[in-house]
Amino acid sequence: MSGEAIDTILAFDFGLKRIGVAMGNTMIAQAKPLGVITAIANEPKFAAIAAMVREWGATRIVVGLPSYPDGTEHEMSARCRRFANQLHGRFGLPVELVDERYSSAVIAARRGEVIDDRAAAIILQQYFDARS
């Protein structure tokens, strides 16, 4: 990676009730869960994201794109694409969609446990792994 700029990346596992957030950078290519945004209304949701973009100095964004196991579009796919477009429009950062078909399935969670940030970390790790 000599000569390449290091990107700090925020990754999002978008949901209607919660958005999981993870971060990492292209130098170490290790995803780390950051937290969960629980705001439902757009303004507090995007205010929380803006604070994270500033705090971590994000230069790129990754959003998980859900689909069915056979690869067909999921009912949440269009909403995730719209969310990705909103992030790009608000922050002017490059936004990439990553297949998240199995991100939540690989996390062993207890009933009622919030795993959205760990799902976001898996999405980001898939992004890193696909680049290496």
Q: Find the CATH number of the domain harbouring 64.
A: 3.30.420.140
Burial class (CB in 10 A: 0-12, 13-18, 19+), 6: exposed
CB neighbourhood size of 26 (10 A) = 18
What's the rounded mean pLDDT across residues 66-75? 84
Task: Please tell me the predicted confidence (pLDDT) of residue 74.
Answer: 82
Indicate whether 73 pLDDT > 90. no
In a domain, 3, yes or no: no
Number of independent structural domains in the chain: 1
The per-residue b/e assignment along 53-70, b for 16 or more CB within 10 angstroms, e otherwise, is: beebebbbbbbbbbeeee
Q: With respect to residue 1, please indicate whether it lies within any of the assigned structural domains.
A: no
Question: Looking at the domain assignment, is residue 62 inside a domain?
Answer: yes
Give the pLDDT score at 20: 94
Q: Which residue has the higher pLDDT, 2 or 109?
A: 109
For residues 16 and 110, the model is more confident at: 16
* Residue 85 belongs to a domain: yes
Is residue 107 within 8 A of residue 118, CB to CB? The reply is yes
Confidence of residue 68 (pLDDT cuts 50, 70, 90): confident
Please give the backbone phi and psi of residue 20, each rounded to the nearest 5 degrees, phi first: -80, 145
Query: Residue 108: pLDDT above 80?
Result: no
- Domain of 54 in residue numbering reads as 8-131
Residue 127 placed within a domain: yes
Whether residue 2 lies inside any domain: the answer is no
The answer to whether residue 88 is domain-embedded is yes
Residue 49 in any domain: the answer is yes
Which pLDDT value is given to residue 85? 97
Please give the mean pLDDT across all residues of the chain.
89
Name which residue leads in pLDDT, 127 or 132: 127
Helix (H, G, I), strand (E, B) or coil at 36: strand
Res. 1: pLDDT tops 60: no
